[in-house]
């Protein structure tokens, strides 16, 4: 039994209702997995000079509306040409303003850019759904899942050719990290308040498996912070609100990457 903070609990409770409604409606029975070979999210981070995972999201539970009118095709195309190694697409609707169609449109728009489905995965069929709409990777959140589920869902993803980013919020969750996880992420967001502090990534960095690709998530606001986190062993940097609060998120990314230290 995973005990969660109130905001996260509301999100996960709602997600369970959504999944059950989809199951009753036969949505998962109608899924068709395309014949495409998924791109390697992990390798794209390793090869990229920026390591930036640029995120598309319209709102958040703590900040409300961020960029409600943003067009996913315009934003991800701009991200792709302005320095992003990969893109993260929020697909949760009630709390983040996303949709499955956002990821499907992103896939058609940037066929050569790795995409991760940013979602609260609580069922294996959500991973099959991610593959069906063109994701290359999925997020597994240790605060939501137990060790058995983390391992089981990683296996399901790998069977579909997808990679997994396993997200931890504190070192106490390290024992949930599957040995065959493709990447480990440290989320700098406090799940009780949804505030961010990138010191969390710095504090945990040395305790993570040395050979695993590490991703710092949330709260990153400057290339100076990226450079410091890279020195501490991070390869990827998931950044969303810093870009999405601008009327032109891709331009914000371009300026971010070109920032003089």
What is d(CA 226, CA 234) in angstroms, rounded to the nearest whole number?
Answer: 9
pLDDT digits (tens, 9 = 90+) for 198-238: 888 999 998 998 899 999 998 999 999 999 999 999 999 99
Instruction: Report the b/e string of 35-67 with b at 16+ CB within 10 A.
Output: eeebbbbbebbeebebbbbbbbbbbbeeeeebb
pLDDT number for residue 60? 87
In the chain (261 residues long), the average pLDDT of successive 10-residue segments reads 69 97 97 95 97 96 87 98 97 96 98 98 98 98 97 98 96 95 92 78 90 94 94 96 95 90 43
Q: Is the pTM of this model over 0.85?
A: yes
Contact 142, 40 (CB under 8 A): no
Nearest to 200 by CA among 234, 245, 227: 234
CA atoms within 13 A on the CB side of 179: 0
Instruction: Report the b/e string of 191-205 with b at 16+ CB within 10 A.
Output: beeeebebebbbebb
Tokens of 212: 């695993």
Length of the chain: 261
Residues serving a catalytic function are: 55, 57, 118, 167, 187, 217-218
pLDDT number for residue 261? 43
pLDDT number for residue 192? 65
Rounded (5°) CA angle 146-121-147: 15
């Amino acid at each position: 039994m995973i005990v969660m903070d109130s905001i996260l609990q509301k999100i996960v409770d709602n997600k369970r209702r959504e999944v059950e409604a989809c199951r009753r409606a036969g949505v998962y029975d109608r899924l068709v997995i395309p014949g495409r070979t998924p791109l390697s999210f992990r390798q794209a981070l390793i090869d990229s000079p920026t390591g930036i995972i640029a995120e598309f999201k319209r709102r958040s539970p703590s900040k409300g509306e961020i960029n409600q009118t943003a067009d996913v095709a315009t934003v991800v195309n701009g991200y792709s040409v302005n320095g992003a190694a990969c893109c993260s697409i929020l697909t949760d609707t009630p709390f983040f303003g996303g949709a499955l169609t956002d990821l499907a449109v992103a896939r058609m728009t940037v066929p050569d850019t790795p995409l991760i489905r940013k979602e609260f995965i609580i069922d294996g069929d959500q991973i099959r759904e991610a593959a069906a709409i063109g994701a290359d990777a999925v997020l597994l959140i240790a605060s939501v899942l137990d060790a058995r589920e983390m391992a089981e869902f990683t296996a399901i993803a790998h069977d579909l050719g997808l990679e997994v980013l396993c997200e931890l919020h504190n070192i106490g969750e390290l024992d949930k990290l599957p040995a065959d996880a493709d990447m480990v992420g440290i989320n700098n967001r406090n799940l009780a308040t949804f505030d961010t502090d990138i010191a969390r990534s710095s504090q945990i960095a040395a305790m993570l498996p040395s050979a695993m690709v590490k991703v710092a998530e949330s709260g990153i606001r400057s290339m100076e912070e990226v450079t410091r986190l890279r020195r501490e062993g991070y390869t990827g940097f998931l950044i969303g609100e810093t870009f999405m609060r601008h009327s032109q998120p891709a331009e914000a990314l371009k300026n971010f990457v070109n920032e003089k230290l």
